[in-house]
Structure 1
Amino acid sequence: MMGPAAMLLLLLLLFPVASAAGSRTLVFILAGQSNMGGRGGATNGTWDGVVPPQCAPSPRILRLSPALRWEEAREPLHAGIDLHNVLGVGPGMPFAHAVLHSHVLPPDTVVGLVPCAQGATPIANWSRGTELYERMLTRTRAALAECGGQGKLAALLWYQGEADTIRREDAELYTGRMETFVRDVRRDLAMPDLLVIQVGLATGQGKFIKLVREAQKGVKLPNVKYVDAKGLPIANDYTHLTTPAQVQLGKMLAKSYLATL
């Protein structure tokens, strides 16, 4: 007959992810378009499969699966989420590693990543009531519910805007649309002070990159931070960050987040 202690040990061995998600879990939303979805090493039609140490799996880094369950995170992080695209390395995994290795957080902290990005999407496709917006809210709420009351929504990481560089009108409207998006997310998640870290564009799909970058910097809402990707290495498609660039961006996002603690 198995005693209570032995039974508990068996359950922990059988369900390690569930037990980890019940620890102190910091939940981060990853949203935007392709550079958040991850194209590192995947710009030539297939992913090269290279996973740097800063992107390696860890039992303390989870991702919310397409089926809305926590699982151990691994690259490509947006598999099954950023649909109809060849996926590679993004900033999420190096961000999580950098946060955990900072020694700022308690040693039992778990990072839960909620991938929501979709390639080639303008910010209008993320407005309240759209499919992408509602999917993001559904996945975020499911992530918190899966934490069993031990999770905290720590931040929304946002890398988007390349698609808004095509038309001048979209570029000029970007500041207002971004501010509306942030207000809507905060209201719908009942978190009026939710931290949002947006990435300044490194590239664009059109010629109005400078206008969108200025619009991003023009967002004046409280608790919205800005991390600039300009200058990071770009792949040979002139649009997507390389794998080393994604690793660097993840570290930059982590530094921005940790500075708020």
Structure 2
Amino acid sequence: MRSNLRAAALLAFTFAAGALAGALVMRRADKPAPSPRPEATIPARVALPPEHLGALSLFVLAGQSNMSGRAPLPNPLPSAIPGVYVFGNDGRWHEGREPVDFAEGQIDDVSADPGAGAGPAAAFAAALRDKRKDRPIGLIPCAKGGSSLAEWRRHLGDHTLYGSCLKRARAASTAGTMAGVLFFQGETDAMDPALTAADAHPDPTNWAAAFESFVRDLRRDLGAPDLPVVFAELGPQPKDGRFPAWERVKEQQRAVTIPGVTRIHTDDLPLGDAVHFGMEGYEAIGKRFAEAMDGLLQR
């Protein structure tokens, strides 16, 4: 009898431990992935007009969920932005509108972001297009919700975020010239390591050095040593206890000093949930990205 009770207790403990371990490696603060979107909501494929072939100013969009966007899609969906195109995760050109980082037809599963909604990229493209009406724009979404900066370190394999992004940037380059990078990341690095996935390895004390390495590596691999980069500082401090290193990461972000790299702030903007911005915040971030990028492009 005692033997059976001990066995039952051991089995219960094993299940409980497994459940706890599973909870600890869940992907951070990102929302659960929804079902695939109706095809009508995905930006339509387009053939680039002859006058825009080879003339696009291309911008890589990297980082985590606040770069890909987590605001609900507007209803009705906005019209395509004239002269703006998205090099989708399916490796095809699409009209320039939300959702920019759609996962339908994803080629490289490592960067699939089925939870993506509206974000700052479309507002960035629209604002920059207003400033530079003579240059059509191509957006290359590479961001991955919940990714740490360690997951963006240089690795050329298609199964890595860096390698997948580099491959798509090179493929899109047949339609234009690499003009800049937008980067928004840091939430996972600010999180309690016990709550992050095993492959995240967040290190809030090394964010600045790791980001500077990322910029140097990407510039070298794209053959653009002076490629402009604009990155966003973390937003308002979350009110829950999952992000004990939030201010440490922000201090690291303020310590980044690389020529041709500019930081924008976001902590004065309204959030839609614990760490993600709403549509109002994303539109403001997009405009700040555009203002900063335009300043770098004029140098």
Q: TM-score, normalised by structure 1?
A: 0.82
How far off is 1:74 after superposition?
2.0
CA displacement at 1:177 relative to structure 2: 0.7
Report the counterpart of residue 17 of structure 1 in structure 2.
48
Q: Decide which structure has the larger Cα Rg and report it.
A: 2
User: Which residue number in structure 1 is paired with residue 285 of structure 2?
Assistant: 249
Secondary structure, in 3 states, of the residue corresponding to 1:166?
coil
Does the C-alpha gap of structure 1 residues 21 and 143 become closer, same or farther in structure 2, counting only changes over 3 Å?
farther
Q: Which of the residues 170, 179, 187 maps onto 1:162?
A: 187
Give the distance between the partners of 1:20 and 1:35, measured in 2 at CA.
33
Q: Is the 8 A contact 1:100 1:109 kept in 2?
A: yes
Q: Does 1:83 align with 2:106?
A: no
**For residues 175-186 of structure 1, what are the structure 2 equivalents within 5 Å?**
175-186=208-219
Matched, 1:199 2:232: yes
Quick one: structure 1 residues 90 and 221, their matched pair in 2 at CA, closer, same or farther if it must change by over 3 Å?
A: same
CA distance in 1, matches of 2:50, 2:293: 25
1:21 Cα deviation from its structure 2 partner:
3.7
SS at match of 1:39: coil
2:271 maps to a residue whose letter is I
After the TM superposition, which residues 82-231 of structure 1 pair with which residues of structure 2 at under 5 Å, given as runs? 83-102=112-131, 105=132, 107-129=133-155, 131-145=160-174, 147=175, 151-167=176-192, 170-203=203-236, 206-231=243-268
Aligned partner of residue 17 in structure 1, secondary structure = coil
**Residues 63 and 113 in structure 1, CA contact (< 8 A), matched pair in contact too:** yes
* 2:71 pairs with one of 5, 17, 40: 40
Alignment partners' CA distance in 2, 1:20 and 1:38 = 30
Give every structure 1 segment of 4 or more consecutive aligned residues whose post-TM-superposition deviation is greater than 3 Å.
Answer: 47-51
Determine if contact 1:85/1:119 at 8 Å carries over to the other structure.
no
Compute the displacement of 1:57 (Å): 1.1
Kept in 2, the 8 Å contact 1:20–1:110? The answer is no
Q: Is the 2:98–2:117 Cα contact (8 Å) retained in structure 1?
A: yes
CA contact (8 A) 2:88 2:100 kept: no
1-structure distance, mates of 2:287, 2:164: 27
Deviation, structure 1 residue 24: 2.5
Offset at residue 68 of structure 1 (A): 1.8
**Which moves more between the two structures, 164-173 or 63-72?**
164-173
Partner deviation per Cα, 1:75-111 (whole Å, 9 max, x = no partner): 1110016535422111110001101112xx2x44211
Distance 1:61 1:84 in 2: 21
The AA in structure 2 aligned to 1:187 is: R
Q: Does structure 2 conserve the Cα–Cα contact (< 8 Å) formed by 1:23 and 1:110?
A: no
For residues 46-86 of structure 1, give each alpha carbon's deviation from its aligned partner in whole angstroms, at most 9, with x where no partner exists: x56465xxx64123110002232222122111001653542
The answer on whether the counterparts of 2:101 and 2:113 sit within 8 Å (CA) in structure 1 is: no
> Are the aligned partners of 1:158 and 1:197 in contact in 2 as well (CA < 8 Å)?
yes
- How far residue 182 of structure 1 moved from its aligned partner, in angstroms, is 0.8
Matches of 2:260 and 2:113 in 1, distance apart?
33
For residue 176 of structure 1, report the CA deviation from its aligned partner: 1.1
Shift of 1:153: 1.0
Amino acid at match of 2:173: L
Structure 2 CA distance for aligned equivalents of residues 206 and 196 of structure 1: 26
2:275 paired residue among 224, 229, 239: 239
2:12 corresponds in structure 1 to: none
Give per-residue Cα distances to partners, 1:192-217, cap 9 Å, x unaligned: 11111010000565121111011011
Contact 1:155 1:196 in 2 (8 A): yes
Q: CA RMSD in A?
A: 2.0
Q: Where does structure 2 lack aligned partners over 5 or more consecutive residues?
A: 1-45, 194-201
Query: Match of 2:274, SS?
Result: coil
Amino-acid identity (%): 32
1:20, distance to aligned residue in structure 2 (A): 5.2
Counterpart of 1:11 in structure 2 is none
Contact 1:64 1:114 (C-alpha < 8 Å) held by counterparts = yes
